[in-house]
Amino acid sequence: MPRLAVLGHPVGHSRSPAMQNAALAELGLGEEWSYEAIDAAPDAFEARVRRMADEGFVGANVTIPHKGAALALADESSEIAGKVGAANTLVFERGSIRADNTDAGGLLRALPGSPRGRRALVLGAGGAARAAIWGLAQAGAAVYVWNRTPARADATYAEIAAHIELGGAAEESPRQEDYGIVVNTTSVGLHGEDPFAHLPLSPAKFADQVVVDMVYGKEPSALLNAAERGGAHTVDGLEVLVQQGALSLEIWTGCEAPIEVMRAAARA
Ligand code: ATR
């Protein structure tokens, strides 16, 4: 019976078990495969992962705060996981642990069209930002990075630009109107903060852009509400979660993921 899981801390709020079990059922694998949530504190994470293969696990998703540790303990890693410096997907196979990152690909699949040739503004400079920067750059966008702490934007930009053409810059005062794509990877909005008090954006300056907010909750975020009123195409963090989960499921099962079923389950 192949087992799958998401490891996080905390993990109780995760939509992944509902979404992935619905997908497994739709694929006709629900009687054999299962997907559960496992809460692991940081000091217990590595030992927990190393027991998993013996317990029948064939793969796992990894979420906050374990994405860096997941990459570090793996025997092999995909190019994108290595370059992003974080893994959200593990595969247990023949006694070895392989790390992958589907966050970058998930963001790309959540966009309404190709970012090729467009200017993309990434807000933030943490792990979520690094995946977004890589994904957008690989897909041919010119990538600009803003962060509350500008030195961190400079460092993240320079580090990634050493490996791939970014075609943009670290920006301290970006002009919102100049970007076809805006991606918020900061935690602003997670605890009800006003995005327009903390991010270099104005609710009056959205146009027909694509605006992605990785933050998600029960209601659309204040950022996405304002972007939609301004005529933007909005993408929420739950759609990115669905798409990264679909890519992970495809890695583990080799089956094409049933996106509609996963989306419905994630939003239920
Ligand atoms: P992750 O790995 O999930 O991206 P992280 O590394 O903790 O998480 O990054 C959080 C991001 O949110 C950072 O870019 C952080 O900005 P700083 O580098 O200046 O800390 C950003 N962030 C958090 N709170 C913020 C706020 N109130 N205003 C603006 N940016 C904020």
Q: For the segment 37-73, what is each residue's pLDDT rounded down to a tens digit?
A: 999 999 999 999 999 999 999 999 999 999 999 999 9
150 CB within 6 A, ligand 1? no
Every domain of the chain with CATH number 3.40.50.720 lies at: 105-235
Q: Is residue 216 pLDDT above 90, yes or no?
A: no
147 CB within 6 A, ligand 1? yes
Every domain of the chain with CATH number 3.40.50.10860 lies at: 3-101+240-267
186 CB within 6 A, ligand 1? yes
CB distance 109 to 132 below 8 Å: no
Is the CATH number 3.40.50.720 carried by domain 105-235? yes
225 CB within 6 A, ligand 1? no
Q: What's the CATH number of domain 3-101+240-267, 3.40.50.800, 3.40.50.720, 3.40.50.10860, 4.10.320.10?
A: 3.40.50.10860
Residue 118's pLDDT is what? 98
pLDDT band at 181 (very low <50, low <70, confident <90, very high): very high
Atom 9 of ligand 1: nearest residue by CA position: 126
187 alpha carbon – ligand 1 mean position (Å): 6
Which of these, 265, 209, 210, lies nearest to 241 by C-alpha position?
Answer: 265
Q: Which of 66, 84, 130, 148 is the pocket-test mutation for ligand 1 (most atoms within 8 Å of CB)?
A: 148
- The residue whose two tokens read 């970007």 is 179
CA 79 to chain centre: 16
